[in-house]
Amino acid sequence: MGGTEDTPEVGAEHAGLSRRGLLGLAIGGGAAAIAAGGVGGYALAAAQRSGGSDEAFAFFGAHQAGIVTPVQEHLHFAVFDMMPRMRKNDLVELMQDWSYAAARMARGLEVSATGAVGGSPESPPDDTGEALGLPASGLTVTFGFGPTLFERDGEDRFGIRDRRPAALQRLPPFLGEDLVPGSSDGDLCIQVCANDPQVAVHAVRNLSRIAFGRARLRWSQLGFGKTSRTTADQQTPRNLFGFKDGTANILADDKAALDDHVWVPAADGPGWLAGGSYLVARKIAMLIETWDRVRLAEQQRIFGRDKGEGAPLSGGTEETEPQLSRLDADSHVRLAHPDTNGGVRILRRGFNYVDGNNELGRLDAGLFFLAYQRDPAHFVTLQKRLSTDLMNEYVKHVGSGIWAIPPGAAEGSYVGAGLLS
C-alpha cells in the first residue's frame, strides 16, 4: 500500500475500507483505547440518552456536517499526526477510509459492512460493538488539516506544500496563555459530535483503529453540555460559570452571515478550500472554585450580562442589542462585540469539559472552545481584543490548534479530495 506514489482517482467510488483500513480494525486497539479514555469514563456510563437520538445528518454535501448542524450535546475531539515515512497515497487512502466509515456511522450503521458480529469468529470484529442497537444520535464527523500536514520541519512529506493556504499558520502567542504541547496542534483533526456520548466515543475509537499504522493519536478531548447554539429553535446554553453563552452566535439560516464570516470564498483561495472554513480550537481551563466565591454583582459586571435572564446589563431581554457604552469597558460582552472588533464575527461550537481533578484537588474543568471563521485573522483580532477581558483572572488557555476544514465531499468521493487529487 505504501510502496507507490500513485494516488487513487478522486472521483472513484469508494466501496469499502482498504486492506490497510481493515488491518487497522484488526490490530489497532491500543490507539483506540487511548482515544476513548482519560476522563473518568463518563461517556461510556451515561445512564440516560439525550434527546434527538433518532436524528441522522448526511455526511456528504456541499459543506461538512458539524459546522452549521444543530449543536449536539456531546463532543469527542481527536487530533492525529501522520506516521513517519508515510507518502501521499497513504494519506489519500486514510481519508478515503475515514470518509467511508464516517458516512456509515452517521447513518447509524457499523463502521463496515461486516460489522461487530459478522466475519470470521477467529478474527477481531470490524466494529467494536458498543454502539450496536443505538440510533445515529445526530452524529456528525468533521475532518480538518493542520499546518504541519503541509510542511513539518521544512519537509514537504506529501507533496502538498505549495497548496497550503497562506492563512493556515500556527496561531501567534496570546497574553496570559500557558499552552500544554501535548494538548495543542496536530496534522489532522476529527470533530465528532452526537447526542449520545457513547455514539461519539464509538466513532473516534473506530476511526482511530482504522488509522493504525498510518496515523497516531496526538491528543483528544471529551466535551458535554454545548455552550453555544447554531439554530434559532435551540435555547442559549450555559457555560460552567453559569452564564448563557453565545447569544449572538451566527445561526444556520443566516446565509449572508455564513457567507461573510464562515465559508471561505473562491476569491480568498486556494480553490480546494472554497466552501470550507478554518477551525480554531482552544482548551480554556476555568478556575471554578475561585469564581464561585465572587459576588453576583461582580460576576455580572465581568460578563456584561444578567446571570438569570442573560440580558445585557444595559437593559432589555437576552436578545436585546447591548448598549456598549453602558457596560464596563473591559466586560466580556463589550470586548467581544463586532462593533468593537471591526465587524468580526465567528461561529462558535463550544462544549464544557471536566477532566477529573488537578493536583490541588480542584476541578480540572473548563470550556473547549471551537470557532469557525473564513479567515483565522478574524479570530486573532478577537482574541487580542480580549487581552484586557475581566474574565481573564478566572480562565487560562492551556490548549490550542488551527486546521483548514475542507468543503464537503460528493457521494462516492472523500473529504479532502480537492486538495489531494
pLDDT in tens, the chain (421 residues): 333 344 444 444 466 888 777 777 766 655 444 444 443 333 333 333 444 568 999 999 999 999 999 999 999 999 999 999 999 999 999 999 999 999 999 999 999 988 888 888 999 999 999 999 999 999 999 999 999 999 999 999 999 999 999 999 999 999 989 999 999 999 999 999 999 999 999 999 999 999 999 999 999 999 999 999 999 899 999 999 999 988 889 999 999 999 999 999 999 999 999 999 999 999 999 999 999 999 999 999 999 999 999 999 999 999 999 999 999 999 999 999 999 999 999 999 999 999 999 888 999 999 999 999 999 999 999 999 999 999 999 999 999 999 999 999 999 999 999 999 8
Q: Do 28 and 209 touch, CB atoms closer than 8 A?
A: yes
CA nearest 333: which of 360, 311, 309? Answer: 311
pLDDT at 53: 66
Residue 337 CB-density burial (10 A; 0-12 exposed, 13-18 middle, 19+ buried): buried
**What is the spatial distance between Cα 36 and Cα 163, in angstroms, rounded to a whole number?**
33
How far is the C-alpha of 277 from the C-alpha of 405, rounded, in Å?
5
Closest CA to 194 of 102, 286, 111: 102
Query: Burial of 15 by CB count in 10 Å (0-12 exposed, 13-18 middle, 19+ buried)?
Result: exposed
pTM for the predicted model, two decimal places: 0.90
74-82 vs 188-194, strand pairing mode: antiparallel
* CA gap 32, 211 in Å, rounded: 9
pLDDT of 28: 60
For the record, the C-alpha cell of 353 comes out as: 469539559
**Which residues lie across from 111 on neighbouring strands?**
none
For residue 125, cis peptide bond before it (omega within 30 degrees of 0): no
Buried b / exposed e over 212-249, threshold 16 CB at 10 Å, is bbbbbbbbbbbbbbbbbbbeeebebbbbbbebbbbbbb
Q: What is the pLDDT of residue 372?
A: 98
- Dist. CA 147–CA 161, nearest whole Å: 9
Domain limits, the chain: 27-146+185-226, 177-183+228-267+277-408
Please name every residue paired with 305 in a beta bridge, in sequence order, or none if there are none.
312
